[in-house]
Protein backbone atom coordinates (compact mmCIF):
# COMPACT_ATOMS: atom_id res chain seq x y z
CA UNK A 1 0.00 0.00 0.00
CA UNK A 2 1.56 3.30 -1.16
CA UNK A 3 0.76 6.14 1.24
CA UNK A 4 1.44 9.84 0.63
CA UNK A 5 1.26 12.30 3.50
CA UNK A 6 0.50 15.91 2.57
CA UNK A 7 1.92 17.80 5.54
CA UNK A 8 4.84 16.31 7.46
CA UNK A 9 4.40 17.98 10.85
CA UNK A 10 3.89 16.64 14.35
CA UNK A 11 0.95 14.32 13.76
CA UNK A 12 2.17 13.02 10.40
CA UNK A 13 5.57 12.38 12.00
CA UNK A 14 3.94 10.38 14.81
CA UNK A 15 1.95 8.28 12.32
CA UNK A 16 4.96 7.71 10.06
CA UNK A 17 7.14 6.63 13.00
CA UNK A 18 4.41 4.24 14.17
CA UNK A 19 3.82 2.78 10.71
CA UNK A 20 7.50 2.18 10.03
CA UNK A 21 8.09 0.51 13.37
CA UNK A 22 5.17 -1.79 12.55
CA UNK A 23 6.73 -2.97 9.31
CA UNK A 24 5.39 -0.52 6.71
CA UNK A 25 8.24 -0.06 4.21
CA UNK A 26 9.73 3.44 4.09
CA UNK A 27 9.79 3.03 0.29
CA UNK A 28 5.97 2.86 0.32
CA UNK A 29 5.65 6.19 2.12
CA UNK A 30 6.07 9.69 0.69
CA UNK A 31 5.74 13.08 2.38
CA UNK A 32 4.86 16.41 0.81
CA UNK A 33 6.17 19.18 3.04
CA UNK A 34 7.18 22.79 2.25
CA UNK A 35 9.74 23.09 5.07
CA UNK A 36 13.09 21.91 3.72
CA UNK A 37 14.51 21.34 7.19
CA UNK A 38 11.56 19.14 8.14
CA UNK A 39 11.86 17.22 4.85
CA UNK A 40 15.53 16.55 5.59
CA UNK A 41 14.67 15.45 9.12
CA UNK A 42 12.01 12.97 7.92
CA UNK A 43 14.34 11.66 5.21
CA UNK A 44 17.16 11.19 7.70
CA UNK A 45 15.09 9.69 10.51
CA UNK A 46 12.99 7.28 8.44
CA UNK A 47 14.70 7.07 5.04
CA UNK A 48 11.60 8.52 3.38
CA UNK A 49 11.27 10.13 -0.02
CA UNK A 50 9.87 13.63 0.29
CA UNK A 51 8.84 16.46 -1.97
CA UNK A 52 7.81 20.10 -1.96
CA UNK A 53 4.14 21.07 -2.52
CA UNK A 54 4.83 22.34 -6.05
CA UNK A 55 6.08 18.91 -7.16
CA UNK A 56 3.62 16.34 -8.60
CA UNK A 57 2.17 13.77 -6.19
CA UNK A 58 3.49 10.23 -6.64
CA UNK A 59 1.01 7.46 -7.52
CA UNK A 60 -0.61 6.44 -4.22
CA UNK A 61 -3.27 4.11 -2.85
CA UNK A 62 -3.94 6.44 0.07
CA UNK A 63 -3.33 10.19 0.40
CA UNK A 64 -3.34 11.43 4.00
CA UNK A 65 -4.08 15.13 4.42
CA UNK A 66 -2.13 16.18 7.54
CA UNK A 67 -2.05 19.97 7.29
CA UNK A 68 -3.76 22.49 9.56
CA UNK A 69 -7.54 22.73 9.03
CA UNK A 70 -7.16 26.28 7.71
CA UNK A 71 -4.65 25.08 5.08
CA UNK A 72 -6.67 22.11 3.91
CA UNK A 73 -8.88 23.80 1.34
CA UNK A 74 -5.99 25.11 -0.72
CA UNK A 75 -4.00 21.89 -0.31
CA UNK A 76 -7.02 19.75 -1.30
CA UNK A 77 -7.68 21.84 -4.39
CA UNK A 78 -4.06 21.44 -5.50
CA UNK A 79 -4.14 17.68 -4.85
CA UNK A 80 -7.59 16.99 -6.38
CA UNK A 81 -6.55 16.60 -10.04
CA UNK A 82 -3.68 14.30 -9.01
CA UNK A 83 -5.55 11.86 -6.76
CA UNK A 84 -6.15 9.38 -9.59
CA UNK A 85 -8.64 7.38 -7.52
CA UNK A 86 -6.57 7.20 -4.31
CA UNK A 87 -8.41 6.99 -1.01
CA UNK A 88 -8.39 10.47 0.61
CA UNK A 89 -7.93 10.42 4.36
CA UNK A 90 -7.95 13.61 6.43
CA UNK A 91 -6.77 14.02 10.00
CA UNK A 92 -7.64 17.75 10.16
CA UNK A 93 -9.65 18.74 13.22
CA UNK A 94 -13.16 19.94 12.48
CA UNK A 95 -13.21 19.58 8.69
CA UNK A 96 -16.21 17.43 7.75
CA UNK A 97 -16.16 14.77 5.06
CA UNK A 98 -18.67 16.60 2.86
CA UNK A 99 -16.55 19.77 3.07
CA UNK A 100 -13.38 17.92 2.06
CA UNK A 101 -15.26 16.00 -0.59
CA UNK A 102 -16.43 19.34 -2.05
CA UNK A 103 -12.92 20.83 -1.90
CA UNK A 104 -11.74 17.75 -3.80
CA UNK A 105 -14.26 18.48 -6.56
CA UNK A 106 -16.99 16.09 -5.39
CA UNK A 107 -14.68 13.20 -4.50
CA UNK A 108 -16.48 10.27 -2.84
CA UNK A 109 -13.59 8.21 -1.39
CA UNK A 110 -13.10 10.37 1.70
CA UNK A 111 -12.39 9.20 5.25
CA UNK A 112 -11.97 11.43 8.29
CA UNK A 113 -9.70 10.30 11.11
CA UNK A 114 -8.84 11.80 14.48
CA UNK A 115 -5.60 10.12 15.63
CA UNK A 116 -3.37 11.16 18.52
CA UNK A 117 0.39 11.51 18.97
CA UNK A 118 0.97 8.29 21.00
CA UNK A 119 0.65 6.76 17.50
CA UNK A 120 4.43 7.21 17.41
CA UNK A 121 4.80 4.43 19.99
CA UNK A 122 1.85 2.37 18.65
CA UNK A 123 -0.25 3.46 21.62
CA UNK A 124 -2.57 5.78 19.74
CA UNK A 125 -6.32 5.72 19.49
CA UNK A 126 -8.11 6.96 16.38
CA UNK A 127 -11.73 7.84 15.76
CA UNK A 128 -12.80 7.22 12.15
CA UNK A 129 -15.75 8.32 10.08
CA UNK A 130 -16.15 7.39 6.42
CA UNK A 131 -18.24 9.07 3.75
CA UNK A 132 -21.08 6.92 2.39
CA UNK A 133 -19.28 6.16 -0.85
CA UNK A 134 -16.35 4.45 0.89
CA UNK A 135 -16.21 0.72 0.16
CA UNK A 136 -15.67 -2.12 2.62
CA UNK A 137 -12.26 -2.67 0.99
CA UNK A 138 -11.25 0.95 1.66
CA UNK A 139 -12.50 0.69 5.25
CA UNK A 140 -10.32 -2.41 5.69
CA UNK A 141 -7.30 -0.50 4.33
CA UNK A 142 -7.95 2.33 6.81
CA UNK A 143 -8.24 -0.24 9.60
CA UNK A 144 -4.90 -1.74 8.60
CA UNK A 145 -3.14 1.63 8.67
CA UNK A 146 -4.67 2.77 11.96
CA UNK A 147 -4.49 -0.58 13.77
CA UNK A 148 -0.74 -0.49 13.25
CA UNK A 149 -0.49 2.70 15.33
CA UNK A 150 -3.02 1.85 18.05
CA UNK A 151 -6.71 1.26 18.66
CA UNK A 152 -9.46 2.21 16.22
CA UNK A 153 -13.01 3.39 16.97
CA UNK A 154 -15.40 3.59 13.99
CA UNK A 155 -18.08 6.24 14.36
CA UNK A 156 -21.62 5.94 12.95
CA UNK A 157 -22.38 9.62 13.31
CA UNK A 158 -19.86 12.26 12.21
CA UNK A 159 -20.90 14.63 15.03
CA UNK A 160 -19.18 12.19 17.46
CA UNK A 161 -15.88 13.30 15.91
CA UNK A 162 -16.05 16.54 17.93
CA UNK A 163 -16.11 14.57 21.18
CA UNK A 164 -13.37 12.20 20.04
CA UNK A 165 -11.21 15.21 19.15
CA UNK A 166 -11.81 16.73 22.59
CA UNK A 167 -11.09 13.50 24.50
CA UNK A 168 -8.43 11.45 22.70
CA UNK A 169 -7.19 13.81 19.97
CA UNK A 170 -6.32 16.61 22.37
CA UNK A 171 -6.17 14.28 25.40
CA UNK A 172 -2.42 13.58 25.42
CA UNK A 173 -1.91 17.33 25.99
CA UNK A 174 -4.06 17.19 29.12
CA UNK A 175 -2.01 14.29 30.46
CA UNK A 176 1.25 16.09 29.69
CA UNK A 177 -0.17 19.16 31.45
CA UNK A 178 -0.82 17.00 34.52
CA UNK A 179 2.70 15.55 34.35
CA UNK A 180 4.19 19.05 34.02
CA UNK A 181 2.13 20.14 37.03
CA UNK A 182 3.21 17.16 39.14
CA UNK A 183 6.83 17.87 38.21
CA UNK A 184 6.41 21.53 39.20
CA UNK A 185 4.86 20.36 42.47
CA UNK A 186 7.87 18.11 43.12
CA UNK A 187 10.19 21.05 42.45
CA UNK A 188 8.16 23.12 44.91
CA UNK A 189 8.78 20.35 47.49
CA UNK A 190 12.51 20.98 46.97
CA UNK A 191 13.44 18.05 44.70
CA UNK A 192 16.11 18.51 42.02
CA UNK A 193 14.81 18.62 38.40
CA UNK A 194 15.92 15.06 37.51
CA UNK A 195 14.34 13.58 40.63
CA UNK A 196 11.18 15.67 40.14
CA UNK A 197 10.91 14.32 36.59
CA UNK A 198 11.43 10.72 37.71
CA UNK A 199 8.88 11.02 40.50
CA UNK A 200 6.24 12.46 38.16
CA UNK A 201 6.88 10.12 35.20
CA UNK A 202 7.08 6.92 37.25
CA UNK A 203 3.98 7.82 39.25
CA UNK A 204 1.88 8.46 36.13
CA UNK A 205 3.26 5.39 34.30
CA UNK A 206 2.81 3.18 37.36
CA UNK A 207 -0.75 4.37 38.01
CA UNK A 208 -1.67 3.79 34.34
CA UNK A 209 -0.14 0.30 34.37
CA UNK A 210 -2.03 -0.56 37.55
CA UNK A 211 -5.32 0.81 36.16
CA UNK A 212 -4.89 -1.11 32.91
CA UNK A 213 -4.19 -4.41 34.70
CA UNK A 214 -6.64 -4.09 37.58
CA UNK A 215 -10.23 -5.30 37.83
CA UNK A 216 -10.96 -2.20 39.91
CA UNK A 217 -12.19 0.92 38.17
CA UNK A 218 -10.29 4.21 38.49
CA UNK A 219 -12.52 5.51 41.29
CA UNK A 220 -11.90 2.34 43.39
CA UNK A 221 -8.16 2.54 42.77
CA UNK A 222 -8.25 6.19 43.90
CA UNK A 223 -10.15 5.26 47.07
CA UNK A 224 -7.55 2.55 47.81
CA UNK A 225 -4.84 5.24 47.94
CA UNK A 226 -6.94 7.58 50.04
CA UNK A 227 -6.65 6.73 53.75
CA UNK A 228 -9.29 8.24 55.99
CA UNK A 229 -7.83 11.30 57.70
CA UNK A 230 -4.62 10.92 55.68
CA UNK A 231 -2.59 12.91 53.19
CA UNK A 232 -4.33 11.95 49.92
CA UNK A 233 -7.72 12.86 51.34
CA UNK A 234 -6.40 16.35 52.07
CA UNK A 235 -5.10 16.67 48.50
CA UNK A 236 -8.28 15.34 46.84
CA UNK A 237 -10.38 17.65 48.99
CA UNK A 238 -8.25 20.57 47.80
CA UNK A 239 -8.83 19.46 44.18
CA UNK A 240 -12.59 19.09 44.75
CA UNK A 241 -12.73 22.52 46.39
CA UNK A 242 -11.05 23.94 43.27
CA UNK A 243 -13.49 22.01 41.05
CA UNK A 244 -10.72 20.27 39.16
CA UNK A 245 -13.06 17.57 37.77
CA UNK A 246 -15.63 20.12 36.62
CA UNK A 247 -12.82 22.15 35.05
CA UNK A 248 -11.59 19.12 33.09
CA UNK A 249 -15.12 18.44 31.83
CA UNK A 250 -15.57 22.12 30.90
CA UNK A 251 -12.19 22.11 29.13
CA UNK A 252 -13.18 19.13 26.96
CA UNK A 253 -16.52 20.79 26.20
CA UNK A 254 -14.59 23.87 25.04
CA UNK A 255 -12.42 21.66 22.80
CA UNK A 256 -15.47 19.91 21.31
CA UNK A 257 -17.13 23.30 20.73
CA UNK A 258 -14.00 24.48 18.90
CA UNK A 259 -14.10 21.38 16.71
CA UNK A 260 -17.76 22.10 15.82
CA UNK A 261 -16.93 25.76 15.25
CA UNK A 262 -14.04 24.86 12.89
CA UNK A 263 -16.42 22.52 11.04
CA UNK A 264 -19.02 25.27 10.68
CA UNK A 265 -16.51 27.99 9.72
CA UNK A 266 -14.70 25.90 7.14
CA UNK A 267 -17.88 24.18 5.93
CA UNK A 268 -19.42 27.55 5.11
CA UNK A 269 -16.66 28.10 2.60
CA UNK A 270 -18.45 27.03 -0.56
CA UNK A 271 -16.13 28.50 -3.15
CA UNK A 272 -14.51 25.17 -3.96
N1 LIG B 1 -0.87 17.31 16.75
C2 LIG B 1 -1.81 16.49 17.16
O3 LIG B 1 -1.78 15.92 18.26
C4 LIG B 1 -2.98 16.18 16.26
C5 LIG B 1 -3.21 16.90 15.10
N6 LIG B 1 -4.28 16.59 14.30
C7 LIG B 1 -4.51 17.33 13.06
O8 LIG B 1 -3.40 17.10 12.23
C9 LIG B 1 -3.20 18.22 11.37
C10 LIG B 1 -1.73 18.63 11.44
O11 LIG B 1 -1.45 19.00 12.78
P12 LIG B 1 0.05 19.02 13.33
O13 LIG B 1 0.81 17.90 12.73
O14 LIG B 1 -0.06 19.15 14.78
O15 LIG B 1 0.51 20.41 12.69
P16 LIG B 1 1.97 20.83 12.17
O17 LIG B 1 1.94 22.30 12.03
O18 LIG B 1 3.00 20.19 13.04
O19 LIG B 1 2.02 20.15 10.73
C20 LIG B 1 1.45 20.70 9.57
C21 LIG B 1 2.50 20.59 8.48
O22 LIG B 1 1.91 20.96 7.24
C23 LIG B 1 2.92 21.60 6.50
N24 LIG B 1 2.32 22.36 5.38
C25 LIG B 1 1.92 23.65 5.34
N26 LIG B 1 1.47 23.96 4.11
C27 LIG B 1 1.58 22.84 3.36
C28 LIG B 1 1.30 22.52 1.99
N29 LIG B 1 0.80 23.42 1.14
N30 LIG B 1 1.53 21.25 1.56
C31 LIG B 1 2.02 20.32 2.39
N32 LIG B 1 2.34 20.57 3.71
C33 LIG B 1 2.10 21.81 4.16
C34 LIG B 1 3.62 22.48 7.51
O35 LIG B 1 4.91 22.90 7.06
C36 LIG B 1 3.69 21.53 8.71
O37 LIG B 1 4.88 20.78 8.73
C38 LIG B 1 -4.13 19.33 11.85
O39 LIG B 1 -5.19 19.44 10.94
C40 LIG B 1 -4.61 18.84 13.19
O41 LIG B 1 -5.94 19.22 13.45
C42 LIG B 1 -5.12 15.55 14.58
C43 LIG B 1 -4.93 14.82 15.71
C44 LIG B 1 -3.91 15.11 16.67
O1 LIG C 1 -5.20 21.03 18.80
C2 LIG C 1 -5.68 20.66 17.74
O3 LIG C 1 -6.47 21.39 17.10
C4 LIG C 1 -5.32 19.30 17.21
C5 LIG C 1 -6.53 18.40 17.10
C6 LIG C 1 -6.40 17.42 18.22
C7 LIG C 1 -5.04 17.62 18.70
N8 LIG C 1 -4.44 18.61 18.12
CATH of the domain at 195: 1.10.3730.10
Residue 200 and residue 76 in one domain:
no
Q: Decide: 34 in ligand 1 pocket, CB within 6 A.
A: yes
Residue 8 and residue 111 in one domain:
yes
Residue 122 and residue 235 in one domain:
no
pLDDT in tens, 210-251: 999 999 999 999 999 999 999 999 999 999 999 999 999 999
Domain-located, residue 126 = yes
Tally of structural domains, the chain: 2
Phi and psi, residue 151, nearest 5°: -85, 160
Residue 23 and residue 126 in one domain:
yes
Residue 95 and residue 178 in one domain:
no
Instruction: Write down the pLDDT at residue 264.
Output: 96
Q: Which of 14, 93, 117, 263 to mutate to test the pocket of ligand 2 (most atoms within 8 A of CB)?
A: 93
Domain-located, residue 264 = no
Q: How far is the CA of 250 from the centre of ligand 1 (A)?
A: 26
Residue 73 and residue 193 in one domain:
no
Angle at 250 between CA 200 and CA 152, to 5 degrees: 70
Name the band, by pLDDT with cuts 50, 70 and 90, for residue 272.
very low
Domain-located, residue 270 = no
Q: Decide: 165 in ligand 2 pocket, CB within 6 A.
A: yes
The residue segments making up the domain with residue 183 are 171-255
Residue 271 pLDDT > 60, yes or no? no
Last residue of a domain, one of 158, 184, 210: 158
Query: Helix 231-241 and helix 244-267: axis angle, to 10°?
Result: 40
Q: What percent of the chain has pLDDT over 70?
A: 99
Instruction: Write down the pLDDT at residue 133.
Output: 81
Nearest residue (CA) to ligand 2, atom 1: 170
Q: Worst-scoring range by mean pLDDT, 36-45, 79-88, 136-145, 263-272?
A: 263-272
Residue 31 and residue 145 in one domain:
yes
Name the band, by pLDDT with cuts 50, 70 and 90, for residue 270.
low
Q: What percent of the chain has pLDDT over 90?
A: 97
Mean pLDDT of 145-167: 97
Domain-located, residue 34 = yes
Q: Decide: 53 in ligand 1 pocket, CB within 6 A.
A: yes
pTM of the predicted model, to two decimals?
A: 0.96
Q: How far is the CA of 219 from the centre of ligand 1 (A)?
A: 36
Residue 17 and residue 139 in one domain:
yes
Distance CA 56, CA 70 (A): 22
Can you spell out the DSSP letters for 17-65?
HHHHHTT--GGGEEEE-S-HHHHHHHHHHH--EEE-TTSPPPP-SEEEE
pLDDT in tens, 107-134: 999 999 999 999 999 999 999 999 888 9
Mean pLDDT of 147-174: 97
Residue pair 55/251 in contact (Cβ under 8 Å)? The answer is: no
Amino acid sequence: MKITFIGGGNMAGAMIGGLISQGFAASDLFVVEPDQGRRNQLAQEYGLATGAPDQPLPASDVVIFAVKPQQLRQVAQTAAPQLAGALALSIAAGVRVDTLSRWLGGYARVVRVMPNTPALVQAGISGVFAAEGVSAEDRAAVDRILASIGKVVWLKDESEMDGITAISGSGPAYVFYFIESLQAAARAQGFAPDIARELAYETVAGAMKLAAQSDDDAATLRIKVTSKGGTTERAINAMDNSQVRATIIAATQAAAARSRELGDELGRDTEA
